[in-house]
Amino acid sequence: MQKTSLSARQVSLVAVFAALSVAVIIFLPGIPMIGLPGARITLDASIAPVYGLVIGPYLGALAALLGGIIVAGYKGWPVFAVLTSFSPAISAWVAGMLTRKSVRVAGREVKGWIFAASTVFILIAGWYVTWVGQRAPLYPVIHWTGLAVILALRGKISTLYESGGKRGLSLAIFLSSYCGLISDHMLGNIIFISGLGWFIPLEAVGGILASMGLPDVPALFMFMLPISTVERIVMTVIAMIFGTGLILVLRSSRLKPDLVC
């Protein structure tokens, strides 16, 4: 971003999307999280990538983060809810970067896809740093797929987003949202693992493992991999449908998303 201060319009856009996240989290039930009783994957995750597409990676991430933090405060500041507020924010960041040809950093233009690829790579590396990741090395297959998409297409995603027509726009939104959502997913995984024995009771996790006939936490993650894959693809489709409709409306109204960030 070239400006260091936010205009009234930018503040308004952040507020609108943050409020949308709050509404979705509060009024939609979410997806039960296996391994953490009472916790749910909030459905604002499905639309968080679109924030980055519409108002840019910086403001989009801020809006997604604020929405999660506000709800966490409403719930009494549970540690897991506070920490996982950063998951949709990282999703908006990655998707927003992928649909920007470049961003200005310290006076230099840097390709947006480089930031996206670096973020996904760091998250995957973070998985292998954990003890669970070392015992379940094949788990990040959907995350490696996202990184491969970024490295294979690089700036082509932003080109499709800006001038690819309706089909090209939908494809760009699908690909960037997928990469954002697998980033969200991996950060959530790392937070979960880091919280074992801290804000996630080992007794509760042990009881779930026993009821499922699984020997340990790495086995739980591998068991969940097919479910997580379907979950992320469905969420990506939701983001594509929502994002395509919203962006087409904005463009027809001459409120082009690439001018908003």
**pLDDT attached to residue 28:** 79
Please report, to the nearest 10 degrees, the dihedral formed by the alpha carbons of residues 222, 228, 233, 236 taken in order. -130
Per-residue pLDDT of the chain (261 residues; tens, 9 = 90+): 444 566 778 888 899 999 999 998 888 777 777 656 666 677 789 999 999 999 999 999 999 999 999 988 888 888 888 999 999 999 999 999 999 999 888 888 999 999 999 999 999 999 999 999 999 999 999 999 999 999 999 999 999 998 878 899 999 999 999 999 999 999 999 999 999 988 888 888 888 899 999 999 999 999 999 999 999 999 999 999 999 999 999 888 866 544 444
Other Cβ atoms less than 10 A from the Cβ of 165: the count is: 9
Give the pLDDT score at 128.
Answer: 98
pLDDT at 151: 98
pLDDT at res. 31: 72
Structure confidence at residue 256 (pLDDT): 58
pLDDT score of 56:
93
Q: What integer pLDDT is reported at residue 253 of this predicted model?
A: 82
Angstrom distances, CA of residue 24 to CA of 48, 157, 187: 11, 28, 21
Sort 198 into a burial class: Cβ within 10 Å, 0-12 / 13-18 / 19+: exposed
